[in-house]
Structure 1
Amino acid sequence: MKIRKSLMTLLGVFALTHLAPVDAHAAAQRGASKKASVAKESPARATKLAKAAKVVAVRPTKPIKFARAESRRVKASHLAHAAPAAQRSAPVAAPDMDNEGNPLLHSAAFMIADQATGSVLLEKNSDAVLPIASITKLMTAMVVLDARLSLTEVLLVANEDVDTLRNSSSHVPVGTELAREDMLRLALMSSENRAASALGRNYPGGLPAFVAAMNRKAAALGLRDTRFADSTGLNSANVSSARDLVRMVSAASRYPLIREFSTTANYPVSLNGRVRQFNNTNALVSSPDWQIGVSKTGFINESGKCLVMQAWLLNKPMIIVLLDSFGRFTRVADAQRVKRWLESAAVQQKVAAAVRTPST
C-alpha cells in the first residue's frame, strides 16, 4: 500500500514538471472544486481564503484611481495652458469690491469726501433726508460752545431729562450733578441722552431756545436738509442728509473740545460719590489703525445704525458719513471697507507715479 502511494506521488510530480500546460478552463474548474472541498473540510480555512481573495481583488484598483486623478490634473493643466492669455489674466473683483473697484458698502446712504478739497470720492443716496439720531449731539455741542457758557458750572440731571419717548436707559441717574464740561464729554463720547438733555435745558431760554439756536446754526452752515426738534436725537424729527452731514462734521472739527471729547476712548466720572467709567460708542477710536479727529454714532429704530467721522487717511482729512446701516457691526465694517479702498487706491497711484517717473 505504501509503495502504491509513493508511485502515485512520483507520477504526479512528473506530470506537473514535464507535461504540457493543461487547458485553462479545466484548471479553473479543478481549482474551484478544490476550494469547495477545502471549505467542506475546514470552514476556518475557507474564511481565511475568502479574505485573502478579497484583499487581492481590492489591490489592483488603487493604481487605477491614481491614474484617473493624474489624468484629470493633466487635463486641467493642459486646459489652463491652452486658455487665451487674456482669459487667464482677467482680474477678479474682491469680495467687498464691485466691478469698478469701489467698496460695496451696506449702509443705505453714505458720502465719503476729501475735507481739504471738498471733492466727493464716493456717495449713494447722499441727498436722502433721514433721521440722524445721536449724530444730533454734534450740533448740540457746537451750540453750547458757541454760547460761551461756563464749562465749570454745575448742572443737575432732573426728571425732565429722563427719556419718556423711547424709555432708553442711562448710566447717569436723576439727581446727578456734573460740570457742563463733563456733561458735554458724556454726550459726545458715550452718547448719554440725559447729559445732552441737561445741556439743552440749561441754555438761556430753556430747551425751546436751544432748539431754535440749533436750527439757526444749521442754516448758517448751509445745511438745507437739516432740521432739529431736540438736543438728544431721540426725536425722529431730527433729520439731515449725508451731504449736509459732511458739512456738519467739517464744522464740528473746528472745535478742539469736540475733537477731544468725541474721540476719547473712556473716561471715569464720579457719580454721587461712586466712580463709573464711560466708554466711547465708536470702537474705532481705540484702534491703532485709525487716526480719528471727530466721531459720533447714532441709533434709533427710524434711523438705523449711523456713524460719522473725520479721519486722517492718505495723510488727508477725510469725512465719512454712513447712515441707516442694518446690523450691529455694519457701520464699522463699512468704515473699514472705505479705509481699505482708499489705501488700495493710494498704492495704485504710487505704482503709477513710479512708472511715469524716469529713473536717474
Structure 2
Amino acid sequence: MNFAKNKNKIIVLITTTVVLVGVFLFYFLSKKEEIIIESEVNIAEEKIDPFEDLVLEAKSAFVWDTYENKIIYSMNGEAQLPLASLTKLMTALVVSELVPEGIIVTIDSQDINEEGDSGFLMGEKWRLADVLDFTLVSSSNDGAHALASIIGSINTGEGQTQEEMFIKEMNQKAQNLGLIQTYFLNESGLDVSQDVGGAYGSAKDVAMLMGQIIKEKPQILEATKYSSLEIKSKDFTHTVYNTNQYAEAIPGIIASKTGFTDLAGGNLVIAFDIGIGHPIIVSVLGSSREGRFKDVGKLVSASIEKVAQE
C-alpha cells in the first residue's frame, strides 16, 4: 500500500519536474529569440550611411554601381558644368569607333601649337593605339588635336573644318548615349574664353560615359590606371606620367581621367573594382586641383563601406 502511494508521489513529482523544465526551456528559448531579434534590429539601426556626413570640395559628385546598375550616391549629379579634359574620354571613344586601327598618325605643326607641351614632336609617327594612350594618360591637348584631325580628314563635310566635323561626331555620340547634359565645343576641353568652357556635362553623364567605354572599349582606358609608363612612337620612346598620380593608390583601379581649367576647376573620374567584375565609377566636377583627389578618395572609401553593409 505504502509502496503504491510512494510510487504515485514519485510519478507526480517527475511529471511536475518535467512540466516545470519544459516551461523554463520554452520561456528561455523565447527570450533568447527575442534577444537575438532585438540585437539584429539594433545592429541594423546602428548602421550609419557612410555618405551622410561627407564633406566634399566639389560642386557635383556621382557614384554609380555599374554591376547593379544603380546610383550609390549623387550630389548635384545632373548639374551641367565645364568638363575640361574629361572631354578627351569622348574624343578617344569616337576615334576608336571611326578610325581604322592600323592607321599611322603623324604629328604636324598645328597639333603641337595647342596649349601645353606633353612631349609630342613635329613629324613624329605613331600607331593609333599609342596616341590614344599618350593622350589620355598625359591629358595631351596636342594628342587630342591630332586625333580630331584624323576624323576630319576621313569624314569631310561641305563648308566644315576638320575640327568642326569631329565635334559634330562627338556631339552625335553624346546624344546617342543619352548624355543629356553633355555637349562639346572642342576636342580637348580647353576653355574657349574666360566665360565659356570647351565642353559641358554632368558628373552623372561622365560616369555613364566611362561606364560605356569600360563595357564596349575597355582597352582604351587600360593605360590610365598606371602612374607612369613608357610609350613608343615609330621614332622615340616617351616616359609618360599620369595626371592622376594617385591612380595606383586606389584599390582595384580600372581607369582614371583628370580635367582642370580655370573655369572648370578640378575634375576627376575613376573606375575601380569593388569585387571581381564589379566596377564602381566615381566622378567629381568643380573641385580644386588637389581637392578632386581628396574628394574621390573619400567617395571611394564611402562606397566600399556602403557596399559592405548591403
- Does the alignment reach a TM-score above 0.5? yes
Counterpart residue type for residue 192 of structure 1: S
CA deviation after TM superposition for structure 1 residue 318, in Å = 0.9
Q: 1:347 to 1:175 in 2, by over 3 A?
A: same
Unaligned runs of 5+ in 1: 1-96, 350-360
SS at 1:283's partner residue? coil
1:160 to 89, 92, 110: 110
In the alignment, what sits opposite 2:203? 242
In the alignment, what sits opposite 1:146? 97
Counterpart residue type for residue 228 of structure 1: F
In the alignment, what sits opposite 1:275? 237
In the alignment, what sits opposite 1:106? 57
2:77 to 117, 126, 138: 126
Structure having greater relative contact order (Cα 8 Å, sep ≥ 6):
2
CA deviation after TM superposition for structure 1 residue 159, in Å = 2.1
Task: Work out the CA distance in 2 between the residues paired with 1:161 and 1:229.
Answer: 17
* Most deviating of 137-146 and 99-108: 99-108
Q: 1:100 to 1:291 in 2, by over 3 A?
A: closer
Task: Work out the CA distance in 1 between the residues paired with 2:208 and 2:51.
Answer: 27
> Which runs of structure 1 show a deviation greater than 6 angstroms over 4 or more consecutive aligned residues?
97-100
1:343 to 296, 300, 304: 304
Question: Which of the pair has more CA radius of gyration?
Answer: 1
SS at 1:337's partner residue? helix
Residue correspondence of structure 1 range 312-323 to structure 2 within 5 A: 312-313=273-274, 316-323=278-285
Describe the superposition over 1:244-277 as per-residue Cα deviations: whole angstroms up to 9, x where unpaired: 1121111111212223133244332456855330
Describe the superposition over 1:186-238 as per-residue Cα deviations: whole angstroms up to 9, x where unpaired: 11111111111101001112322211111110000001111012211114131
Task: Work out the CA distance in 2 between the residues paired with 1:180 and 1:343.
Answer: 36
In the alignment, what sits opposite 1:258? 220
Task: Work out the CA distance in 2 between the residues paired with 1:197 and 1:296.
Answer: 17
CA contact (8 A) 2:127 2:233 kept: no
CA deviation after TM superposition for structure 1 residue 347, in Å = 5.0
2:167 to 211, 218, 235: 211
SS at 2:246's partner residue? helix
CA contact (8 A) 1:305 1:324 kept: yes
Counterpart residue type for residue 241 of structure 2: N
Describe the superposition over 1:287-343 as per-residue Cα deviations: whole angstroms up to 9, x where unpaired: 2x52122211111111111111121125531110111112x3211111211122233
CA contact (8 A) 2:116 2:140 kept: no
Task: Work out the CA distance in 2 between the residues paired with 1:223 and 1:275.
Answer: 37
Q: 1:330 to 1:276 in 2, by over 3 A?
A: same
Task: Work out the CA distance in 1 between the residues paired with 2:125 and 2:168.
Answer: 26
Task: Work out the CA distance in 1 between the residues paired with 2:244 and 2:61.
Answer: 17
Q: 1:115 to 1:174 in 2, by over 3 A?
A: same
CA contact (8 A) 2:51 2:302 kept: no
Residue correspondence of structure 1 range 19-30 to structure 2 within 5 A: none
SS at 2:59's partner residue? strand
Counterpart residue type for residue 224 of structure 1: I
CA contact (8 A) 2:273 2:279 kept: yes
Q: What is the RMSD of the two structures over their aligned residues, measured on CA atoms? A: 2.4
CA deviation after TM superposition for structure 1 residue 100, in Å = 7.0
Task: Work out the CA distance in 1 between the residues paired with 2:235 and 2:126.
Answer: 12
Aligned residues: 248
Residue correspondence of structure 1 range 72-91 to structure 2 within 5 A: none
CA contact (8 A) 1:295 1:309 kept: yes
SS at 1:318's partner residue? strand
In the alignment, what sits opposite 1:170? 118
2:131 to 183, 191, 195: 183
Describe the superposition over 1:166-203 as per-residue Cα deviations: whole angstroms up to 9, x where unpaired: x4233113332222221111111111111111010011
SS at 1:162's partner residue? helix
Task: Work out the CA distance in 1 between the residues paired with 2:190 and 2:113.
Answer: 8
Counterpart residue type for residue 297 of structure 1: T
CA deviation after TM superposition for structure 1 residue 152, in Å = 3.3
